[in-house]
Structure 1
């Protein structure tokens, strides 16, 4: 036997096993079990919002005291109440465990669709392993907030956008009525898809239906109260625009502080110019979104196929929402998973850079929250530097995504190849 052949055979067997469905599903179970354990027993109360806030909202509604979004304005769209109410199924004592089970179940559905029913392709295998690694790097926050419920809806919507645009529109619209950010993915599909009329019609019809049911339940103006609630926020400590004030605190500039807002239940920055900056985030966000729309429409009008345009366009929309947001909560990093997974499925080599950048942003996020969050709240220089690095990673992601969208509309010769790729992946998803 030639030297080295015997040692290479087991290695090939291990690689073959790791590339199979069984290994992926075992890894899925291990990752979600580990994240659930961190949420339930880890330091820093990572599940605090779920058990300390969501549970109270759900219990108050169950006992007929107060229905958030109906009887009072709420920071979330009305469908956010659905998973909170569902987590009460085994009683309030098991609310946290039930919540984690719901998120794991939704992730499992998205994971199954990602793997597909046909022979497991290398791009889908790469995307699946990346998503599991991303969840581990992000840590307990990957499951322990309302955003975690929306990620599977977003991922399924993007994966089905080419072959099942109507189903994608339904899933993304539902996601947007749980937490607003998937509305940006609806916009990406509308721009990238040739069947944009159907997507718009379904998104509007479903939204009107949700609004109608809310009004019948007695919500009145509270149905869209989340818009005003978000507009009234100050500058949260993790917001990208807050970096300057955090460094000012590090430098010892007087009159600037971090304090807890008991109405919004977040830590915010206070000091000269903060209110103006918080107000400025809205027009900045509008300008950023408009710029992404313009670049995306240019690419679509120049014939960019959905298989080449949708993933970077969705990523650009998601990142601009993160950079222009006055909140900047750590759970927002979960949003990156859906467009990156789609990009890895369609163009794994091309999406290597954003996959690495997103994974790095996830790791930095977990270092900051929940374990050592207190250091950021006292503006420790090392943790302000970490937050600055995270914002830098997001800026790099945005620059990459906009450049990729621009390039998608810059080479008319790629249209045919992109269309073939889209059809092949569409068939594989079915």
Structure 2
């Protein structure tokens, strides 16, 4: 490995967007910056290393998010205050809706709309709050439950940042995309997605350290919390097919399936109907706000008319829409598999993982506000470039504002024309598609991949990493002539 590849990346040098912004504070680090060309960079030997700065930034973002949610913490949601102040959170709303405030055990006493591990997480934090409120009637149950969830979910987010830093020791500033993401500021505790994000990142970390069984267990736990971490196993399988090394992928997949089954089986035996609530709800659910199908169903056609006929027909026929979404997601995944097999070099795991999860979001009929969090750690691993990331995050912020306006309008007080929300939804969808296109381009042209400028190969490949080249044997000296 060359010394050049052992150097820690400095975005002020390697990222043209950051380099341009750095001109406002004196320009990028020069070639004679102290320590710039040594592992650790100019931060080496200081307390505030790059990794610690990124961790501190993540904590700051989470604290600001907590402040942003503060108007809703008391649970006194009157006159749509939770929408007017942009502070709605499922964490508080579902504490009451799922019966936790009455001491109901998830799945046993009440059906829960989420996979088992998320429901268990809700009960693990919610039932003690109910018990404490029984002993102290003055306790605000909803506020206490929210604070407890915000603390634990925040700790899981910081742990995920730490794992990403461990996966990118030579590129620590890449993880600042996650730490400073506007999506974290607006959506961190809207739901319990940070639980699944922790397991997903931990699973990818374990895979990068060549521990396929541990990776499978962690991804299985993530799938038991939210469905999407299981899709990361598909990315691993594609890359294993490319490398013709199926054993590690089989170990990870088998461990993942067994872990998921072990978590779900007790609840299935105890109350199958309540356990299946998640599956039934998603099968019967109508077209969700902000999806491709919503955009088509509400697309402005002029003259006060909205909706394209094909999308309107699908929106009225949910079984057919389900089939169409499954087919499109499946075809997209097949295309990603073909891309992996035919790429000039084996794509990196982060790239394939992002494409697999993004394809699901693009064609699925549900795209909740907080689902954006799924992609944020994956984009750190897939394409740590700031300009496209910020364009995507700006679109997410616009969607966030438009979505809450739409919620207020659903209460009978329209805030803006329907076309505004459709435009915001299209911008969000378009920027995710743009990121996919840029990642596909870098898979087809690996020399454009900035991560490969720092590492010789995929730092996350784990057991699929290419073996180091065998050093050439030294030449055998010719035998001395034997005298007669």
Q: Structure 2 length as normaliser, TM-score?
A: 0.68
Q: Which stretches in structure 2 are left out of the alignment for 5+ residues? A: 1-25, 35-40, 73-81, 133-140, 447-451, 466-484
* Residue number in structure 1 paired with 2:125: 87
Alignment partner of 1:333 is 2:372: yes
Larger Rg belongs to? 2
> Do the aligned partners of 2:111 and 2:277 also contact (CA within 8 Å) in 1?
yes
Q: Which moved more, 1:316-325 or 1:73-82?
A: 73-82
Alignment partner of 1:162 is 2:208: yes
Q: Which moved more, 1:67-76 or 1:93-102?
A: 67-76
Deviations 1:309-354 (A, max 9, x none): 321221112112111222221111111113112225xxx4xx5576
Deviations 1:384-421 (A, max 9, x none): 3222211211222333445555667xxxxx9x953677
Which one of 143, 157, 177 corresponds to residue 189 of structure 2? 143
Aligned length: 385
**In 2 relative to 1, CA 27–38 (structure 1 residues): closer, same or farther, beyond 3 Å?**
same
Listed as ranges, the matches of 1:152-231 within 5 Å are: 152-163=198-209, 164-193=211-240, 194=245, 195-216=248-269, 218-231=270-283
Deviations 1:340-375 (A, max 9, x none): 12225xxx4xx5576345433433333334477536
CA-based RMSD: 3.8
Q: Which stretches in structure 1 are left out of the alignment for 5+ residues? A: 1-6, 257-270, 409-413
* Residue number in structure 1 paired with 2:357: 318
> Do the aligned partners of 1:151 and 1:337 also contact (CA within 8 Å) in 2?
no
Which one of 269, 292, 299 corresponds to residue 247 of structure 1? 299
- Partners of 1:127 and 1:26 in 2: CA distance: 14
Which of the pair is proportionally richer in helix?
A: 1
Offset of residue 97 of structure 1: 0.7
Offset of residue 179 of structure 1: 1.4
* Residue number in structure 2 paired with 1:132: 179
* Residue number in structure 2 paired with 1:234: 286
> Do the aligned partners of 2:91 and 2:189 also contact (CA within 8 Å) in 1?
no
Q: State the structure with bigger RCO (CA 8 A, min sep 6), 1 or 2.
A: 1
* Residue number in structure 2 paired with 1:266: none
Which one of 366, 370, 390 corresponds to residue 428 of structure 2? 390
* Residue number in structure 2 paired with 1:107: 157
Offset of residue 73 of structure 1: 4.5
**In 2 relative to 1, CA 252–374 (structure 1 residues): closer, same or farther, beyond 3 Å?**
same
**In 2 relative to 1, CA 15–278 (structure 1 residues): closer, same or farther, beyond 3 Å?**
farther
* Residue number in structure 2 paired with 1:294: 334
**In 2 relative to 1, CA 364–59 (structure 1 residues): closer, same or farther, beyond 3 Å?**
same
Offset of residue 178 of structure 1: 1.3
**In 2 relative to 1, CA 407–109 (structure 1 residues): closer, same or farther, beyond 3 Å?**
same
Which one of 400, 406, 418 corresponds to residue 366 of structure 1? 400
- Partners of 2:190 and 2:397 in 1: CA distance: 16
SS in 2 for 1:173: helix
**In 2 relative to 1, CA 58–73 (structure 1 residues): closer, same or farther, beyond 3 Å?**
closer
Q: Structure 1 length as normaliser, TM-score?
A: 0.76
Deviations 1:241-287 (A, max 9, x none): 11133234985238x8xxxxxxxxxxxxxx95253464444233323
Which one of 457, 476, 479 corresponds to residue 418 of structure 1? 457
**In 2 relative to 1, CA 116–423 (structure 1 residues): closer, same or farther, beyond 3 Å?**
same
- Partners of 1:57 and 1:382 in 2: CA distance: 33
Offset of residue 38 of structure 1: 0.7
Offset of residue 122 of structure 1: 4.2
SS in 2 for 1:167: helix
> Do the aligned partners of 1:361 and 1:394 also contact (CA within 8 Å) in 2?
no
